[in-house]
Amino acid sequence: MTLPHPAADQISLPNVLAVLGDPTRLAIVRYLASKEGVPLNCSQFLDLGSKTNLSYHLAKLREAGVTRTEVVGTSRLITLRRDDLNARFPGLLDSVIAAAVDDPALPAVGASEIEVRA
């Protein structure tokens, strides 16, 4: 089973900005950035709410082209589409993540401190 993702040239700025305007989705992106290059199981984000709510937010991120979701057996592994976003909108993702790192208004994900690798 494969999930639909927009091609890199179909990623639109209004969709990306709208998706990143939600605190829960921004917290997911911030956490994915802190674990750059490591696909994360969706269970990593259960601190953010119910499975139903989390599925909704992860789908919105995928549909906007911010994340890639790979189905592996019964697991779904999530990664940032950093290269695609940087090709379409240079510097946008880095700017958003940098602003989100120290934002106390965002919900916390995981038990440890988040460090973002630039």
Segment 85-113, tens digit of pLDDT = 999 999 999 999 998 887 887 888 764 44
What pLDDT is stored for residue 61 in this prediction?
97
Note the pTM of the prediction, 2 decimals.
Answer: 0.86
Tell me the domain boundaries of the chain.
8-117
Tokens representing residue 118 in the block: 């630039």
| Count of beta carbons in the 10 Å neighbourhood of residue 13 | 10
Fold annotation for 8-117: Arc Repressor Mutant, subunit A (1.10.10)
Please say whether the dihedral angle defined by the alpha carbons of residues 95, 99, 105 and 111, taken in this order, is positive or negative: positive
